[in-house]
Amino acid sequence: MKVIEHLEKAKEPLISFELIPPKRGGDIRDVLQVLDNIIKFRPPFIDITSHSAEVIYEETPDGIKKRVKRKRPGTLGICALIQNKYNVDAVPHILVKGFTREETEDFMIELNYLQIDNILAVRGDDSGYEKPIPVGKSANRNALELVEQIVKMNKGHYLEDSLLDARPTNFCIGAGCYPEKHFEAPNLKADIKVAKQKIDAGADYLVTQMFYDNRYYFDYLEKCKEAGIDVPIIPGLKILTSKPQLHSIPKDFHVSIPSVLSDEIEKAKPEDVINIGVEWASDQVRELLDKNVPSVHFYIMLNSKPITLLMDRLKLFNKVF
């Protein structure tokens, strides 16, 4: 089932999750353990991130060597596992950066064969490696062009014009958005304009970057409504679990952490941070659900302990999951 259909048919709040593949050479049992732990919360869909190649510098007997490698392959296999073992809809991420349009088309063909109906189209982070585009190939420049490519395939238009009998795909398309604005956008108004362009191009829903102050989300909803965006906007949350995240999360994801939360974490013992993060997230979720958000999406990476603690705590507020 498509994400948009899950949202339309829901009779109670939906909780969804986002995982990352294990590092190259990692153990799939790590993913299975996380899935076994979160499946009891009945997620209608689970996102799996995708990762392009990046530059790695390694010490060798001959000095420092630069290598280009993809650290986390496996998105397609994990999506197939989620749908066939757990009967949960998988939402693979498709990236602009690091992939040609031809590679993207091949990936979507494989997803279509696996009867995976959902895609999240995102530009992707700068990995420090600019992949050369082979002669005769092409690349999307941004997430808008990626959405346009997916929509064309949904209409049966492939990159090879000679494929006159090509079957149309039927993907539900999600896209990212940024309540605190994308770090490259000059202002929030300009960033919302980009989000509107992705919706006008054919994206069916938006999911936000993580945030720790719900005011950013609610203000963003109002501004999107004023801009004519009327698709579901799913709030994305990540539970703080360690003191180093006070610096790494703002640096890596360009979001702010309220001083009340950061002050409390800085004063706490390291082993108490996860409980502080869970309590903060529970307050966020409670307020979001009281405002009738369509769903809450959790970025959990490969760590299911915080979300398990959060779900246990939310039961205290008589929420049904």
Token readout for 165 is 């009998």
pLDDT of residue 129: 57
The C-alpha atoms of residue 217 and residue 230 are separated, in whole angstroms, by 15
Would you place residue 59 in the very low, low, confident or very high pLDDT band (cuts 50, 70, 90)? low
**Is 56's pLDDT higher than 70?**
no
Q: What is the pTM of this model?
A: 0.90
Per the CB < 8 A criterion, the answer to whether 209 and 175 are in contact is: no
Token readout for 227 is 């801009």
**Is 321's pLDDT higher than 50?**
no
- Catalogue the E-assigned strands of the chain: 14-19, 45-48, 54-60, 63-69, 89-95, 118-122, 172-177, 205-208, 233-234, 236-237, 295-301
Tell the burial category of 237 from Cβ atoms under 10 Å away from its Cβ (0-12, 13-18, 19+). buried
pLDDT of residue 26: 83
Give the closest residue to 51 by CA, choosing from 4, 120, 98, 107. 98
**Is 297's pLDDT higher than 50?**
yes
CATH (one of 3.40.50.300, 3.40.350.10, 3.20.20.220, 3.50.50.60) for 3-317: 3.20.20.220
Strand partners of residue 236: 297
**Is 261's pLDDT higher than 80?**
yes
Strand partners of residue 63: 60
Provide the percentage of residues in the chain whose pLDDT is more than 70: 88
What does the pLDDT look like over 161-195, one tens digit per residue?
756 677 899 999 999 999 999 999 999 999 999 99
Per the CB < 8 A criterion, the answer to whether 80 and 31 are in contact is: no
The C-alpha atoms of residue 75 and residue 24 are separated, in whole angstroms, by 12
Mean pLDDT of 228-251: 97
The C-alpha atoms of residue 16 and residue 39 are separated, in whole angstroms, by 10
**Is 143's pLDDT higher than 80?**
yes
pLDDT of residue 318: 46
Q: With H, G, I as helix, E, B as strand and everything else as coil, classify residue 59.
A: strand
Would you place residue 132 in the very low, low, confident or very high pLDDT band (cuts 50, 70, 90)? confident
pLDDT of residue 160: 81
Would you place residue 153 in the very low, low, confident or very high pLDDT band (cuts 50, 70, 90)? very high
